[in-house]
Structures are given as C-alpha cells and as structure tokens.
Structure 1
Amino acid sequence: MATGRRDLFRAVGAASLAGLASGVPAIAAPAPAPAPRATNWRRDAEGKRIADLGNGSFLNPLISGDRPDPAILKDGDDYYVTFSTFDAYPGLLIWHSRDLVNWQPLKPALHRNIGSVWAPSLHKDRGKYLLYIPVKAKPQNDIFVAWADDIAGPWSDPIPLGLPNHIDPCHAVAEDGSRWLFLSGGDRVRLSDDNLSLAGKVEHVYDPWRYPSDWIVEGFAPEGPKIHHIGDWYYMLTAVGGTAGPPTGHMVIAARSKSLHGPWEDHPGNPLVRTTSRDEAWWSRGHASLVEAPDGSWWSLYHGYENDFWTLGRQCLMDPVRFRPDGWFEMTGGDLSQPIAKPTSGEALPHGMALSDDFSAPLALGSKWAFFKPTADEGTRVSVRDGVLHFRARGDAPSSGSPLLITAGDRSYVFECDIEIPAGGRAGLILFYDDKLYAGLGFDEDRFVTHQYGIERARPANPHGRRMKMRVTNDRNIVTFDTSGDNGKTWLRFDRGMEVSGYHHNVRGGFLMLRPGLYSARAGTAQFRDFTFRAFDPDKA
C-alpha cells in the first residue's frame, strides 16, 4: 500500500474510532506527515550524544539517559539540577551548568538507602541548600529533607517529615514570608521557619485543569507541582495524564495567582506541552520547571521518552519559553525534534563524563557507578588497586546481589571488560532493568550462564577458563555477546542473541531504565580491568 493511502486510512480510522466512542460519527482529513527528526548530534570522545551542536544551537535530549523529574536551581550565575534516582545509590547526583546546555556532574547528595527516590526538589533559602526527597519504602512512604551549606556537600542525613501519602514536593515562599511544600494532588503543607519540619496539616488548594475525557492517557494523576514567583505572579506548573503508558498521556498544565495562598487561575492554553502522536520524536512529555537563562530568556526543563526507546528511561529535555504581554507564558519548541537556538550567554562547561573506567582512581560511586538497592555495607564489596576493580561476590545471580551499573543515554553502544574470577566464583556483564528483568552473560570456570528475561538459562561450555574479555553490543535493543580468551586478539560470537526493547517500565513498572553494568556472584572476589564504553550511530558505523 502506498504511504499516502496508508496514512489516510490510519487518520480516518482513528477519527472514526473516536466518533464511535463519543456516539457521534466522525471523519477527519489525513494528518500532516511529521517533519523528519534531526539526528545530527555532536559526539564526544566515546561517541556519546552531546546536545550542544557547536553552532549556536542544541538538539535534545539535554542530558541523555534516565534523567527524570528534573529539579533545577538557579543560584546566581550557576545552575544546578538533580533527578529521580530511584533504587540507584549513591543517589541524587548534582549537575552543574553555567549556560543551561552543557552540564557537568558534581557529587551525589544521598548516600544512605532510604528507599526508591521519586521526583526530588532542589532549592536554596537564606543561604542554605535544601533537598526534599520523596521515597517509596517499607514500612511506609515518606518525604525527607536534607540540607547543606555548600552544593557540593556534605549533605545532612535525610530527615523524615511524616508525609506518607504524597509525592513530588516543591518548596515555595509566600509573600508573607511563610514557607510551604506544594505536593501532588493539588495539596500543600506549611513548613517550619527553618524548612526542616512541618508546621501544619496538609490542605487542598488547587483542583487541576482536566483534559477532554476522550484523550488517550494513563490516568489523571496530578503531580510534579513546580512553583515560580516571577514578577507579580506565582505560577504553578503541574503534570497530568500519567507519567508513562500511552505516548500521548503525560502533559504540562499551568495556573497562576497573585498570592501563593490562591486562588489559582488555569492557563487558557492548557495543556502547554503534550505529545499528540506516536510519530513524534518525544513521548510522554511532562513534569516541567521554568528557569531564566544568563541572557534573560526563559526556558523549561522537563522529561520525556525517546520514540521507540522506553529502555532509555525518561530523558531530560529543554524547551524555550515565551512570556506574553498578558503575563502568561507558552512553550515554543514544538515537538523538540529539531535544533533550537541556545541562550546567547553563559560559559560552556565540558559536558558529561566518560563512562569508560581503567580503575586507576577511586571508584566514582554516585556519579559514574551506582549500586542497585544496596545494603548498608554494599560499599565494602568494592575496592580499586593498581588498575583493578576488586568486586566481592554476593548472591548467586544479578537478582540476588547488587550489581554495579552505569547510565548510558545512547540508542546503540558497546561495552567490554577483562574479567577474572576466583575458583567457585561467577561474574559477567549485564543489561539490567531491575532484579526481575535483566539480560546478560556470565561465566564460571567451566560454563557460561545466560541471563535472559531476568532468569538464568542456557549453560554452554566455557572454553576460556577463569579469565576472559567480554563484549556486549546493544544496537537499538538488539544485543549480541562476544568473548575472547587471548586479550582481545580474537573474538568468539556467543550463540545466543537477544532483543530487549520490552525491558522497560510499561512492561515491568518501576520507572527505571535498562542500564549496562557488571556483577560478581557465588564466591570470592572477581577482578575487573579496562572497562570500556563506546556509543555509535549505526547509520554511520
């Protein structure tokens, strides 16, 4: 069938289904074909995507890989952002920028496992930096607060606030000087003057705008309120429609008030951001904040899933904002599939970090590497000496021992490592979503072990013994494994390939991403040398 006829039938069919659902017959003209997506990212020395194109423009994602729920802080000429880190620890890595486009990782702010971290909030009030940290945990959920005198830390031990029924806090200061946390569901609660405890009960202050009932969404789920005091107005941005699920679900709405105490007036153009078609470059866009650039322009940071790559998690996106004469604002970046002109001032810091590791320096826990659901003593399992990572075994497989993982933000990449195991040990390389869903290849001294669907499967003979180089190639969710017993001079293709496009939230839940990593199991201490990572563009390889 010709492409034009197929598009016509698709559009008419969708309109007819909508008409049947509402009881009114409907016919629609064919939707215009989406503009081709730009894919001409700059690449760093490891082949990873860089948003800054070097010509006065940038191309989303701003920070690639799983960087959901961006919490951004403007602090003079400096900008800081952190993201939900869920079960990865150390967590809440702080990133630093001076131009809003190029970002450097600093240090993690959270070192003790207090639960799965969802949608933190980063603020500065009267010289003190504040992090409000909602967690899913047992025996109950809560929101914690941590503080620091320096953004680089040390950060205080998290203090529980006693808010088990809310997520997505946002700190705000009212015109009368009172301090508040705005919460999911249109609620808020007053804080003590030092911001470290509650000074009242939760109260409902806003009924969020509702989209038409026939829109395809995951659920109403009003969450992620972000409060900004700009000029004479307090603006509240809220996410509705559900965070994942259908690509057309998540969206950004706004309201405003002359007082933080309300009443709140809905934006006449709601929703300000919404994916309207699965053909768009970015799906499920929402959870937005506003920030002013060094040149006085305004921008919004939010997250979204890359088309067909739920496995990469929700990536950080940036959208230009225009304020109108009536005081309302609008996002102007369209579907974010094309390059966008950068802010015109601000120092460009070197962006990102190398993911390769020769283990010649202390292990970069919390910036490059992170454990999954670590116990209190997890850090004692790893040490670095003379270019070798020593990784003590735990459990029998990746599911029963916390692996070490990195965040890779490219559609295609290769990683490899020299691995040596002790007698009775097992180790390998993995692509890990969580302890119930992962893929990879491990070995003991006699046999390989194939990890697939989160279970251990085939056990073919291992021809290399207790030391080998192992390579994993993930080419747009098609995974292959290669091994070498002669330090990479010759490689053997492992005879089981995998397809991992379903290793994501809409299958498993948890709002995570598929992360490369390594594990050590069964007995003794495995040794890892020369971990190398390289992203690539398969269309140009």
Structure 2
Amino acid sequence: MDFKHLFVCVAGCLAVTSYGKGGDAGKPKDWPVFSSVVYEGNDAVFTKNPLRKDEFYNPILQGCYPDPSICRRGDDYYLVCSSFAMFPGVPVFHSTDLVNWRQVGHALDRPSQLKVHDTGTSNGVYAPTIRYNPHNEMFYMITTQVSGGFGNMMVKTKNPEEGWSDPIKLHFNGIDPSIFFDDDGKAYIVHNDGPKKSLWKGHRVIKLWEYDVETDKLVPGTDKVIVDGGTKLDKHPFWIEAPHIYKKDGKYYLMCAEGGTGEYHSEVVFVSDKVDGPYVESPNNPILTQRYLNPMRENKIEHAGHSDVVEGKDGKWYGVFLGIRPNEKGHSLIGRETFILPVDWSGTFPVFENGLIPMEPKQKMPAGVENKQGEDGYLPCGNFSFTDDFAGKALDNRWVGIRCNPEDFVSFVQGGLRIEPFGADISEKKPLSALWLRQMHGNFSFGATVDYRPRSESDLAGIACMQNRNAQIVLGLTKKDGRTMITLVRRLKDKTEILGESEIVGKRPVRLQVEAQGEDFRFSYSTDGHVYHNVGGKVDGAFLSTTVAGGFVGNVVGLYATSGNNR
C-alpha cells in the first residue's frame, strides 16, 4: 500500500470514528463474532424452468442491481449499476461473453469518492454510466451522487479492476449523466434536466454539453436541449431520463428511459445526423416495455427500462436493462434487477427482441458460449446458495455496508468475522456496523452463527432485514433485567415493536435464521444447531417491499451489531 492509499484509509477510519461510533462498545473480546453464514434461494420459477445446455437465466444479476450500464473494450465487457447508500459504491462486473459475469470490485470504494454517511438508503449514488474511450485508452464512470456535496461526478481508470480516480465534479444540474466519445475524439455529456418552464407533471428535457477530455471540464456555453419532453408530446410523456448516445452507420442515436421507474417504465429511441440534433423519434417507440401486457401472466417481469446497449463480438447487439420480478401479491422485495436481451438493429432503429411481449425466465445462449454461472468465480443465477465462513481474510464483493465502509468495523479472527459495534441503532440515519447481502430470491433463508455475550440492554448483535430505517426487522441477542435474551424487533414507519423474545441460558454460540416464503417471514434460533425455536410467529414481510416502503432499493439481509440499542 502506498502512502496515498494509506492516508486515504486512515482518514476514512477517522471519519467513521467521529460519526459512526458511540456508546460503550467494550473491548474487542466483547464484540460479536459471526460465522457459518448461509444464504439459500429457492424460487418456483427456476424449479419449473430447468435450463437446457444452450440456455441461461434472466436476470443475469439477481438482487438490487438497477440502472445497468455496459461498455466493451476488445473482448472484455464491463457493467455497472446504481448502489444508493451502499458502501463500497457502484459495483463493477466483467464478462467476455455477456452471460457469465464476475464482480471485480467497485468504482467508489473510499471516502474521497463516496460520502453517504448521513443519507437515506434510497439516496446516494444514482444511474452510473460506464464508457471506454479508445482515443486515450481510458474508462470513465459518470454518475449522480445526491449526497456529500458531489452532485454529478466522474471517475476514470486505465483498468476497472485496479481502482478508480478521485471524483471529477461536473457543474450542471439534473441527473443521469452519460458520456459519449465520437470518432474524431471529441466528447459529449448528455443528461436529464428540468425544462425552463414545466408544461405538465413529469416534463423533463435531455441536455447535451461538449466535454474537454484534456482538462476534464465542461466546455462553457455549449449546453443545448436536444429533447424537450420525450416522445408523443400530445400525450404528455413523463420522466424522459437515463440518456445514452450511440453512433452507427454515420448517424447518432439517443436512447432514453421514459415513463418513470414503475409500471409505465419503457425505453425509447431517437436519431439524428448530428450529435447535437435535431433528434427525430422512432415511429415504433417504445422499443422495450412490459406495461401493455396481461397483469395475470405467469412469471411476470415488470418495469422494464433504463437500458444500455452494446455491440457484441459476434456483430449482434445486446441490451441490459432493469426490471422487477413481483411476487404473487404484486410486491417486490428483491428490488430492481439487471436483465439482458438481444437487440435487432438491422433496420434504422434498434428494437429489443421479445422486449414488447412477456419476457421469459430463460434466454438462448449466444453462439459458442458455455454457461458457467455459479462456477469458477462467476456469479450464480437461478436457485443457488451462498456460504461464507470468513476464512479467506477478505470480504466477498457481494457484502456491503450501509453509509460506511465495512473495513471500518470488521476484522477477521479465529472462528469467523468480528464486528465492532457502533453506537448507532439501525433505525438511525447514521453509519451502521452491519454487513449486508441483497435479497436475491422471493423464497429464501439466511442464517448465521453468532458468538456474543451482551453486557447491557444497549448491546445487541444478530441478523436483520432492512429496506430503510423505518422498514426493518432484527433478531438479536441483548440483555434484559440481567438476563441474556433473544429478541425479535420490527420497526414499521415510526413505530418499534417487540414481536417476541426468549431467554438464552449458557454461553455457547447461537444460530440465528430467517426463512421467507414470499411475504411470510419466520425467525428462529438454535443453541445446538439442530433444534430451532421460532420467535414472534409468522411475520408479514410486505412492509419490506418497495411497494409499501417506497424508495428505490430492495430488501437486504445481514449481520448487525450495535452498542446503542434503543429497543
């Protein structure tokens, strides 16, 4: 580690110490040690649709990985997604065939790049775009960070797997920026912005700027509105956003999301002879949506949109986009995931193949590609399990913190992972000493063994489910009247309620577990690893869905500790 990175790490730890810790956390020997984490998903859609040799599952990234963006350099594809208040931020994935993906890190992995310590779970980092500039052999990731005073910003690197620069602030309003590199080496930034005068609810514009690659600055006075309102203006389209520019056969194409991120979500496209317009919309818009379909269809995928396309090595085009897999009650606890479809660009305008009819849970493999999902480090898809005994001395990339870096409170010890409790309770909008995985299935179980002896009622450690600070549930060990207790506590809106509790006798580690079948959640514990005792009965988990809790993120499950328990 060089001096620069050492300074960044020390500064980050000091920053977390000042705003994250508090209370009396005791000495390290008093801190909880977690081990034998097991997450297992078992959704009927995958059981009923087994893969043939030439098929793979869609989505390609299960869990809350929305707003995907993709680029290509030679034989390598890189993909990024929104991360909101998660730390590290903006996960980076790599593939050579568009089917098998490895996570190779995060674009924002240190405090100088990411300041989300005081923001809500659905705030933070929105809608990143990743692009490769062949003129300087540099990768760029541009995004909106609605926290920490960043606003619109960019980082860059020669190698997405070896870290990214400190942020370059971009001084313009609006959200969802994207960068485009033309054949002559010139660069342009395009983004969503507000109109000079709003003519209807959801009226937005798409604006273009010239960008100086040498100075990494916008060219003053070059901003221009290239789309005002969206498509079919007589119908008052709403929320034209997430713009990307592509060049094909000498023409410029502008592709955008439209209709908001809910049931009316869609993808639309425009064409122009010049990069700054005028842009003419496709007569066949939208080119991707699920909004017109029978709501009673099987294996529903909804809210499709916010796409990015890339030309494959086979000369065909492919598009990644977000969508949700709602449960039978129409709710989404998993959140918005990343899907992929081939794109037919044989005519003037691109069209997503099968993007306007009910999407299937399986896709045909591209020619010559072998499905290795879940093997050799590639992320699994379908029904799968994830186990972690923390023996590798480095966290799997799928673990994240909320509002702070996990490296600031975790340490690898004999027998597992130790978490240093912060003084913040999970209901506070503060950095949490908690390690999270995204919920990736409608039906899942998540369990961990915790070795912990709380000293007071302020101490608590266990497992948790959380959508936001007012939609969460915790199963943990704490003290009450001098006794060690297992307690199940739910926070719904502004109300905190103890759903069940049980005394624990002895000092051996305890196994904690949550099992969910759709919206039916059951929490239990075991002191011998064999016999499990339910706590709190059956809990309605609908409050953890985006439909009920609001916001943009899915439910996360994780390991949580605090020295500031206020339950």
- Report TM bin, short chain: 0.7 to 0.9
Which AA in structure 1 matches 2:180? A
Question: After superposition, what is the alpha-carbon deviation per residue over 1:491-528, rounded to whole angstroms, capped at 9, x for unaligned?
Answer: 1122332111232334333311101111001279xxxx
Rounded to whole Å, the distance in 1 between the matches of 2:316 and 2:547 is 36
* Match status 1:230 vs 2:211: no
Relative to structure 1, is the Cα distance of residues 460 and 409 closer, same or farther in structure 2, using a 3 angstrom cutoff?
A: closer
Report matched runs for 1:62-461 at 5 Å.
62-111=60-109, 112=111, 113-115=114-116, 116-125=124-133, 126-137=136-147, 140=149, 142-163=151-172, 165-174=173-182, 176-184=184-192, 185-194=205-214, 196-201=216-221, 202-211=223-232, 220-244=238-262, 247=263, 249-275=264-290, 276-277=292-293, 278-280=295-297, 281-308=300-327, 309-325=331-347, 327-333=348-354, 334-337=357-360, 339-346=362-369, 350=375, 351-352=378-379, 355-364=386-395, 367-374=397-404, 379-395=407-423, 397-400=425-428, 402=432, 403-422=434-453, 423-424=455-456, 425-445=459-479, 446-454=484-492, 456-458=496-498, 460-461=501-502
Which AA in structure 1 matches 2:326? N
Relative to structure 1, is the Cα distance of residues 200 and 355 closer, same or farther in structure 2, using a 3 angstrom cutoff?
A: farther
Rounded to whole Å, the distance in 1 between the matches of 2:39 and 2:84 is 29
Question: After superposition, what is the alpha-carbon deviation per residue over 1:211-254, rounded to whole angstroms, capped at 9, x for unaligned?
Answer: 58779xxx71111011111222221111111112xx2x111110
Residue 502 of structure 1 aligns to a residue whose secondary structure is: helix
Which AA in structure 1 matches 2:420? R
Which AA in structure 2 matches 1:161? L
Shift in Å, 1:284: 1.1
Rounded to whole Å, the distance in 2 between the matches of 1:290 and 1:396 is 42
TM-score w.r.t. the length of structure 1 is 0.80
Give the root-mean-square deviation of aligned CA atoms. 2.6
Q: Is the 8 A contact 1:464 1:484 kept in 2?
A: no
Shift in Å, 1:346: 4.5
Shift in Å, 1:109: 1.7
Rounded to whole Å, the distance in 1 between the matches of 2:427 and 2:558 is 13
Equivalences, count: 468
- Partner of 2:34 in structure 1? none
Q: Is the 8 A contact 1:133 1:144 kept in 2?
A: yes
Which AA in structure 2 matches 1:144? M
Larger RCO, structures 1/2 (Cα 8 Å, 6+ apart):
2
Q: Is the 8 A contact 1:109 1:153 kept in 2?
A: no
Shift in Å, 1:396: 5.4
Q: 175-184 or 88-97: which moved more?
A: 175-184
Question: After superposition, what is the alpha-carbon deviation per residue over 1:464-486, rounded to whole angstroms, capped at 9, x for unaligned?
Answer: 45541111111112110111112
Shift in Å, 1:286: 0.6
Question: After superposition, what is the alpha-carbon deviation per residue over 1:84-140, rounded to whole angstroms, capped at 9, x for unaligned?
Answer: 0110001112111111111111111212233401000111112111111211115x5
Residue 356 of structure 1 aligns to a residue whose secondary structure is: strand
Identity %: 23
Which AA in structure 1 matches 2:218? L
Rounded to whole Å, the distance in 2 between the matches of 1:104 and 1:321 is 23
Rounded to whole Å, the distance in 2 between the matches of 1:64 and 1:199 is 39
Which AA in structure 2 matches 1:136? V
Which AA in structure 2 matches 1:485? T
Q: Is the 8 A contact 1:48 1:409 kept in 2?
A: no
Relative to structure 1, is the Cα distance of residues 68 and 207 closer, same or farther in structure 2, using a 3 angstrom cutoff?
A: same
* Match status 1:478 vs 2:550: no
- Partner of 2:119 in structure 1? none
**Which stretches in structure 2 are left out of the alignment for 5+ residues?**
1-37, 117-123, 193-204
Relative to structure 1, is the Cα distance of residues 76 and 54 closer, same or farther in structure 2, using a 3 angstrom cutoff?
A: farther
Shift in Å, 1:266: 0.5
Q: 186-195 or 234-243: which moved more?
A: 186-195
Shift in Å, 1:343: 1.3
